Amino acid sequence: MLWKLVDSQSQQDPTFRTPLCYTRLTAAEALKQLRQQGVAEEALPAPSTMALVLNRNGYRLRP
């Protein structure tokens, strides 16, 4: 569910020099949208942890 949400808000690095994807979705906004989709509060990480998860999986906040 998270990756579908993030992929819909992402784009490839325009130079194609890196495998990174840039997203307009912040960790806090991702958490908000997951809550709206009915994910239980106790199943969601803290915003800082969500940011780490997104970064670890190759997503960076759009510069």
Please write the tens of the pLDDT for every residue from 12-45: 766 767 776 777 788 898 899 899 999 999 999 9
Q: Is the pLDDT of residue 9 over 90?
A: no
DSSP line for 1-56: -HHHHHHTTEEE-TT-SSS-EEES--HHHHHHHHHHTT--GGGSPPHHHHHHHHHH
- The pLDDT value recorded for residue 48 is 92
- The pLDDT value recorded for residue 38 is 93
pLDDT grade for 49, boundaries at 50, 70 and 90: very high
Q: Is the pLDDT of residue 59 over 60?
A: yes
- The pLDDT value recorded for residue 47 is 92
Q: Which residues contact 43 (CB under 8 A, 6 or more apart)?
A: none
